[in-house]
Structure 1
Amino acid sequence: MNRSSWRGMLLWMLLYGGIAEAQTGDVKGRITDKWDQPLVFASVRILNSDKAAVSDSLGNYVISDLEYGSWIMEATATGFKTARSKFNLQKEESRLDILLGEVDQELEEVVISGTMKEVSRNDSPVPIEVYTSKFFKANPTATIFDALQNINGVRPQLNCNICNTGDIHINGLEGPYTMILIDGMPIVSGLSTVYGLSGIPQSLVDRIEVVKGPASTLYGSEAVGGLINVITKRPGNVPLLAADVFATSWKELNVDLSAKLRAGKKATSLLGVNYFNYQHPIDNNQDHFTDVTLQHRVSVFNKWDVERPENRIFSLAGRYVYEDRWGGEMNWSARYRGGDEVYGESIYTSRWELFGTYQLPLKETLLLQFSANGHDQNSVYGNIPYQANQKISFAQLTWFKTIQKHELLTGLAYRYTYYDDNTPATADLNNVGWNKPARTHLPGLFMQDEIALHANHKLLLGLRYDYNSLHGNIVTPRINYKWSSFDRKHTLRLSLGNGYRVANVFTEDHAALTGAREVVFTEDLKPETSWNANLNFVKKINVGAAFLGLDATLFYTYFTNKVIPDYDSDPNKIIYDNLKGYGVSRGVSLNADLVLPNGFKALIGATAMDVFNKENGMRQRQLFAERLTGVWTLGYTIPGVGVKIDYTGNLYGPMRLPLLSDLDPRSAYAPWWSIQNIQLSRNIGEKIEIYGGVKNLLNWTPAKGSPFLIARANDPFDKEVQFDAEGRAIATPDNPYGLTFDPSYVYAPNQGIRGFLGFRYQLF
């Protein structure tokens, strides 16, 4: 072969080699669930490469320019199990269809709230309800507080017609009996039970776990009625950039932004910002007061996950919330703040939080969890100022150990609470004009043993000891039993437990702050105690391609030393005292989860309950506790169009309300009422989702059928009210019902029908 032939062959080999090395192809396919319904906005990525895509409205995806060779594809979607598939790309176009199994139907979600350790929901001996971010998208809201309205047995309760603050009721029990956790940390407590719930951006939530019934054995005080654990998203599982923005016809604007950041190869961060603005006073019920509180809120959240040897955990998160809210007479402005000329309730809230988890570098599994938060509140209620500062620090060390059939958990906890305000609660009685801030130390020790009696039987025993620096020793035991059938389609759980709560009136009860009534303590308040029993039964039914899940619970809670605000004895006072008798919360709840082959899904729940107190032989229903409640979330995606319809709503039965006098013309019981919403949503391309709809379709407000909501709205400073020798208001021609100004007659949102429109954007 001559020299020119060698040169030609060498050139051909180089060119061919370059072409071969550069050969690429496309992989495409369809992502579906087990009913062959397309999964919209599912994400796929090629491991060990930068190739990724998102499925469209028909579940289709395309990844282009992928080099020939063997690869592993990972597919994920909210509410579904992650799937990995190996494939070999050897041609210009290859097809790979992926089927994802739903964790919601198989009850395989990982939960931690019941036992403080990760376990599948089906295996947990403690009944836990799990709601993913996908569930809350059916009715988009600006806060977690509003989002909970469609969970069975859980009701956001407004406590003031003017400033629209509220708390969370579980099975009819008031907000102070509900513990709110963020990533397992007791962040939302004390002052924030009134003003801190509105600062949690919904877009950062991965899921919410709900435990109904006492959880004091693991979590201490405040977890008497149950707990709500807000689990935030892991930085490694979020998009590079995401936005969720919506506005309403009431000129409300909510903006959620998030971004994933990396610092080196081992640290990943999630940065989230929430902005909410409503500055358009509306007075549809014509009482000259704002129907809805005006708000201006900014919340910044940052969470870090750090990779460590042997997959040990280290996460650190922080949040800062600033909110300026006011409600009152329509002509109120900041220049009237604190005066007695024009009535307004104005609250400035500044709040910071820091919390994290660190797994010790030891052979044994030891986790150190820690948190700290500070809450500074500058507020006025008419001409009554309320200035409060609260700081809480918390640390907990837990040790997990498995010995044969025993899964052991031992923990040491310590909680310090500092509280100072300008009320008599922290006044120094020995030095007039000086304050004596309350400082509470709460060390605790808890132990738990989860015993696998048999493949189908589990027994959990738990015991906690706390020492409260003000109230002394407190012991709370619990026992849980779980049975499941071999096919895992039937599960029975029995729970018995003890709970306790140390009441702090001024941080928990908005009515105690407003100055509309005098606050009276008949004695030093003792800790409340409760005993609770729950019987839970879960059944899964498959009929052909259809699925039905049933979850039924009987519950009973017995209280002693219950602290109850007495609004009835004197219309000008709130009298606080420990109940000399007992209180009871009992009832039954049922959840039904239905999935049909045509893509229709429904989650329907109902709770019937009886909540009452008995003292001196007299039985009385608890205020603001409905006998019957129902919720529903219905969803259907129109085939071929890609438009999803979500219809959500709730229904509440009558509840007892506080009246001011025998002449008060308002009803002593609320009527049946319902808030219903509808939403249409559709994906546009791979990155954008458009949604919109109508909230409160029935245009229902509590003002309908009632002569007024706010008592003496025309005289908010009681300047024209006449009183008798005992301080009771007298009926006069100008005040025919003998009332004083009071905004506590409230049981439901006062915001009528409104449209909303928004979009979501994700960049992977």
Structure 2
Amino acid sequence: MKFILYFLLLTTTALGQQTIGVGVRHADTKQPIAGATVRVVGGNTGSITDSTGFARISVPNTGPVRLKISAVGFETAAETVMLPSVDTLQIALKPAEEELDEVTVTTTRTGRTVADEPTRVEVIDGEELDEKANMQPGNISMILRESTGIQVQQTSVMSANATIRIQGLDGRYTQLLQDGLPLYSGFSSGLSIMQIPPLNLRQVEVLKGCQSTLYGSGAIAGLVNLVTKDPTRERELSFMGNGTSAGGLDLNGYYAHRNEKIGLTLYATRNTQRAFDPNRDNFSDLPQTSRTTVQPKLFWYPTETTTVSAGLIWVGEDRTGGYMPTLRTENTAGFTEENQSNRLATQFRLDSRFRNDWSLTVKNSYSTFRRTITQPIQNYRFDGVQQSSFSEVSAFRHRPKTDWIVGLNVWTDAFRQPVSAGNQMIYNQLTAGLFVQNTLMLSEQFSLETGLRTDWVQTRIDATGRTSARLLALPRFSLLYRASERWTSRLGGGLGYKAPTIFTEDAERLSFRNVDLTSMSTGVEQSLGLNWDVNYRTELGDETTLSINQLFFATRLNNPLVLSTMPGESTPGSALLSFQTANGFLFTRGLETNIRLVHKAIHGFLGYSLIDTHRRYDNLTGPIPLTARHRLYLTTLYETERVKTGFEVFYTGQQQRSDGSSTRSYVTMGYMAEWKWVIANVLKGSLFINFENFTDVRQSRFEPLVSGSALQPVFVTDIYAPTDGRIINGGLKLRL
């Protein structure tokens, strides 16, 4: 009887009503806002926008109806609708003055804000990116180096190559993505962060801990997703010029605009660097570099619910380091190392919403990367081409209480090395994966995200004919608990893996000299990771906010791939090395503390990380070399409409060298200032100056970086401190 009464009530309520569509977008960027609430004022009906910013809501057939539209981080809007003449409504929400931690993330694919996402996501937004670009506009290394828990590890004195370490793990265990596409792995990983300019980025998203469920191989320590800007109806044309006391020059230009159907972004940059020898040992500490980057991207909007984009990335670079007299005149004999590289990559993406609560995404990338390492005086050359492709189809369904993501992707990777008799294929790798993820609102306090991925990985070593195939199942979970508006907590964990590779930090450090590439192991490295964090945020007055985030983490990596001396080899310095699967594990654990205090125009940030690492494989024990146990970062920023100035202090604790000895701790400091101006509301610009590491901390002050002769130098392999020392840079930014 109760069921019949309930059915009659629903039927009666439905009579005299209609459904209208509401599209909600960012007032400035025109991007859709997912998770916005749309409700009828004075009624009990409402809806939530999906990943495309669209929702449907039931309203009366006649009469004016007042709607209230709200989203975290935006000002609430109210709209009066005259019915029945309106069937679709478009709403633009203005960002609130205080948007800390309330930006929408793309890496998790749900379109949720940081505050509502069960997975812990750290977002470096556009304002912070702009500040870091003043310090180092040539690449993204500064952006990542100054993030808590991330270490940018330099692997070569000569070429200044570097990789990303998250929570103490080798760079190959972190995925580096651009707009969700894996473009920077493998052979290019030692150069990638030194070749990616930051000025076309909208935000950088960092996920720490195992993320293999959505992104597959390599996301054991975490992933970094570089999100580029989309074109808006307001044209953007900007330029930047920067010069450094070390002989560096950076020139950048960016253009973006869209109309009803077509949009375009175009980014181009030219970066040069003279060989720089601050310690006067006649060997460069910054290599002589010239690099050109061009990134055009075309957007098509056939309907209000569909977006298609296609882009191209071309990077050409030549970097040479070594004996300074040889670099200056080319007539003096001395050791040099040249890295020539060329990257050509394509990007394609289609996003389409259908049936109101379903969205389809199709994306593809293809990349070819060629790199040649040459040491003429020692008659050494290493040359290779890596070709990779990535294709994915995924569907997303948003409901008021639950989100579903299901997808299929295929990743191919091949490395070919030219030899005198013709091209020699070193390896071919194929990975096919199927994944599903669900985000469920259990209550107002709890949200649970669960996922499962199944990957089939096939690796073939062509030189030996060895082929292996593995089927892997990767579950993952994240639980969000909202204790109150001030307190939240997240607990997450999962399994991960890394497909076999010959591109490791150890091989990069040796420039692949004496490394037997055909010995590449076909074993898969597997891991188990766990993260727990607590977040507190409060207002200490009308214009003061305090936020504290405390993270605890642990990761165990079984049977790591290591570079070892081949059996029967015993000659020091020239023994042939091979990739072998170790019998044992790596274990990292620790904590990160992040404290942010904002008072009016003053911003303060304190970041501390404790990373405790252990090696327990073969005959090795003790910490992972070159991992600082303690790191502390303190920065202050004062910003008004016309002035921005900041000061930073970075403490790096002791690290263990490869031979078991300890390094010394050190402190670096930096200062930055920027003056902004506007002419007739048409031309906006600024002048900036930055004093990086102005106390001139260098590893060469603690120990020599090179010994031996000009023809046969021996370089330090354990780089634990800056090698370039004090650098002052400054420049001009213009926006039309």
- TM-score grouping bracket, smaller chain normalisation: 0.7 to 0.9
Shift of 1:126: 0.3
Q: What is the CA–CA distance in structure 1 between the aligned matches of 2:415 and 2:385, rounded to whole Å?
A: 6
Instruction: Tell me, yes or no, if the aligned pair for 1:353 and 1:372 is still in contact at 8 Å.
Output: yes
- 2:547 matched to 1:549? yes
Aligned to 1:375: 369
1:576 to 1:621, Cα distance in 2 relative to 1, 3 A:
farther
User: Residue in 1 aligned with 2:592?
Assistant: 589
> 3-state DSSP class of the match of 2:183?
strand
How far 1:620 moved relative to its partner? 1.6
Other-structure match for 2:129: 136
Q: Is the partner of 2:199 in helix, strand or coil?
A: helix
Q: Counterpart of 1:744 in 2: which secondary structure?
A: coil
Contact 1:650 1:676 in 2 (8 A): yes
Output aligned runs, 1:188-227, within 5 Å: 188-227=184-223
Q: Would you say 1:758 and 2:731 are equivalent positions?
A: yes
Q: How does 1:57-96 map to 2 (within 5 A)?
A: 81=74
- Counterpart for residue 701 of structure 1: 698
One-letter amino acid matched to 1:256: N
Indicate the residue corresponding to 1:579 in structure 2.
Answer: 582
1:351 alignment partner in structure 2: 343
Larger Rg: 1
C-alpha distance in structure 2 between counterparts of 1:336 and 1:177, whole Å: 39
1:619 Cα offset (Å): 2.5
Per the alignment, do residues 84 and 123 of structure 1 end up closer, same or farther by CA in structure 2, a change over 3 Å counting?
closer
Query: Are 2:482 and 1:490 aligned?
Result: no
CA RMSD of aligned residues (A): 3.1
Match of 2:665 among 659, 669, 672: 672
Give 1:111-190 correspondences, 5 Å limit: 111-113=105-107, 115-139=108-132, 140=134, 141=136, 142-190=138-186
- Structure having the larger proportion of residues in strand: 2
Runs of 4 or more, structure 1, over 6 Å off, are 43-46, 82-86, 334-337, 520-523, 567-570
Deviations 1:516-549 (A, max 9, x none): 6555998835111110000011110211131100
Separation in structure 1 between the aligned mates of residue 595 and residue 128 of structure 2, nearest angstrom:
15
Q: Distance in 2 between matches of 1:309 and 1:514?
A: 50
User: How far apart are the structure 2 equivalents of 1:754 and 1:624?
Assistant: 24
Q: CA deviation at 1:389?
A: 0.5
The alignment partner of 1:191 has SS state of helix
Match of 2:446 in 1: 457
Counterpart pick for 2:281 among 283, 287, 291: 287
Q: Distance in 1 between matches of 2:620 and 2:369?
A: 40
| From 320, 330, 352, the counterpart of 1:326 | 320
Tell me what 2:104 maps to: 110
| 1:103 and 1:109 in contact (8 A); partners too | no
Partner of 1:91: none
Q: Taking structure 1 as reference, are residues 617 and 272 closer, same or farther at Cα in structure 2, changes over 3 Å only?
A: closer
The Cα shift of 1:150 comes to 1.1
* Alpha-carbon distance in 2 for matches of 1:452, 1:84: 25
Determine the C-alpha separation between the residues in 2 that align with 1:693 and 1:393: 39
Residues 309 and 521 from structure 1, CA distance in 2 versus in 1: closer, same or farther, beyond 3 angstroms? closer
Residue 237 of structure 1, CA deviation = 6.7
1:392 is paired with a residue whose SS is strand
1:566 shift after superposition: 5.2
CA change 1:565–1:336 in 2 (3 A) is farther
Distance in 1 between residues matched to 2:513 and 2:619, nearest whole Å? 31
DSSP-derived class of the 1:284 partner: coil
Please show how residues 565-714 of structure 1 align to structure 2 within 5 Å: 565=563, 572=573, 573=575, 574=577, 576-597=579-600, 599-615=601-617, 619-637=621-639, 642-659=642-659, 668-686=661-679, 687-706=684-703, 708-712=704-708, 714=710
Q: Distance in 2 between matches of 1:266 and 1:751?
A: 48
- For residues 143-173 of structure 1, the C-alpha deviation after alignment (integer angstroms, 9 at most, x for no partner) is 1123211111112111001111111111111
For the Cα contact (< 8 Å) 1:138–1:633, is it kept in 2?
Answer: no
Compute the displacement of 1:605 (Å).
Answer: 0.7
Q: Is the 8 A contact 1:710 1:744 kept in 2?
A: no
2:172 alignment partner, SS class: helix
Aligned-partner SS, 1:147: helix
1:524 aligns with 2:527: no
For residues 573-629 of structure 1, what are the alpha-carbon distances to aligned partners after superposition, in whole Å with 9 as ceiling and x for unaligned?
A: 5564222111101000011111013x2101221100111111368632111111011
**Contact residue 261 and residue 271 of structure 1 kept, 8 A:** no
Using the aligned pairs only, state the percent identity. 22
Task: State the distance in 2 between where 1:420 and 1:44 align.
Answer: 46
Alpha-carbon contact 1:506-1:513 (below 8 Å) kept: no
1:405–1:132 CA distance, 2 compared to 1 (3 A): closer
Give the residue type in structure 1 aligned to 2:383. Answer: Q
Which AA in structure 1 matches 2:393? Answer: L
User: What is the alpha-carbon distance in structure 2 between the residues aligned to residue 229 and residue 476 of structure 1?
Assistant: 21
Q: Give the drift of 1:287.
A: 2.6
Sort the Cα spacing of 1:513 and 1:421 in 2 relative to 1 into closer, same or farther, 3 A: farther
Change (3 A) 1:272 1:377: same
In 2, distance between residues paired with 1:122 and 1:361? 24
AA partner of residue 400 (structure 1): F
- Say if 2:262 is the partner of 1:267: yes
Q: 1:700 corresponds to which letter in structure 2?
A: V
Q: CA deviation digits over 1:204-261, x for unaligned, max 9?
A: 0110000001111110111111000000011117743101211111221111101125
Q: TM-score, normalised by structure 2?
A: 0.80
Within 2, Cα distance between the matches of 1:250 and 1:616?
A: 44
Residue type at the aligned position of 1:380: T
AA aligned to 1:157 is Q
Does the 8 A contact of 2:359 with 2:397 survive in 1?
yes
| 1:165–1:510 Cα contact (<8 Å) kept | no
Change (3 A) 1:100 1:525: closer
**What 5-or-longer segments of structure 1 have no aligned partner?**
1-42, 47-78, 87-97, 660-666, 718-740
Bigger CA drift: 649-658 or 544-553? 649-658
Separation (CA, whole Å) in 2 of partners of 1:520 and 1:394:
24
The alpha-carbon deviation at position 745 of structure 1 amounts to 2.6
Task: Measure how far apart 1:308 and its partner are.
Answer: 2.6
Conserved? CA contact 1:581–1:615, under 8 Å: yes
CA distance in 1, matches of 2:508, 2:401: 51
SS at match of 1:148: helix
* Cα pair 1:517 1:571 within 8 Å, conserved: no
Aligned partner of residue 357 in structure 1, secondary structure:
strand
* 1:443 matched residue in structure 2: 432
> How has the CA–CA distance of structure 1 residues 404 and 677 changed in structure 2, closer, same or farther, with 3 Å as cutoff?
closer
- Which whole-Å CA distance do the structure 2 matches of 1:520 and 1:305 have between them? 41
**Could you tell me how far apart the structure 1 residues matched to 2:523 and 2:496 are?**
14
SS, match of residue 236 in structure 1: coil
Aligned residue identity for 1:356? F
What letter corresponds to residue 339 of structure 2 in structure 1? I
Equivalent position SS for 2:667: strand
1:467-517 deviation line (CA, Å, top 9, x unaligned): 111232122111111111342x21111001111002322476554653665
Which residue number in structure 2 is paired with residue 52 of structure 1? none
Are the aligned partners of 1:506 and 1:512 in contact in 2 as well (CA < 8 Å)?
A: no
Compute the TM-score of the two structures, normalised by the length of structure 1.
Answer: 0.77
Q: CA deviation at 1:651?
A: 1.8
Q: Match for residue 386 of structure 1?
A: 382
Please give the alpha-carbon distance, in whole angstroms, between the structure 1 residues aligned to 2:647 and 2:733: 19
Cα deviation code 1:4-47 (max 9, x no counterpart): xxxxxxxxxxxxxxxxxxxxxxxxxxxxxxxxxxxxxxx9899x
| Distance in 2, Cα, partners of 1:198 & 1:273 | 16
User: Secondary structure of 1:454's partner?
Assistant: coil
The equivalent of 1:501 in structure 2 is 498
What is the CA–CA distance in structure 2 between the aligned matches of 1:395 and 1:607, rounded to whole Å? 36
Q: Cα–Cα, structure 1 residues 447 and 186, in superposed 2: closer, same or farther, change >3 Å?
A: same
Q: Name the count of aligned residue pairs.
A: 631
Looking at structure 1, the residues matched to 507 and 127 of structure 2 have their Cα atoms a distance apart, in angstroms, of: 33
Cα 1:757/1:512, change in 2 over 3 Å: closer
Structure 2 residue runs without a partner (length 5+): 1-26, 31-71, 80-92, 460-468
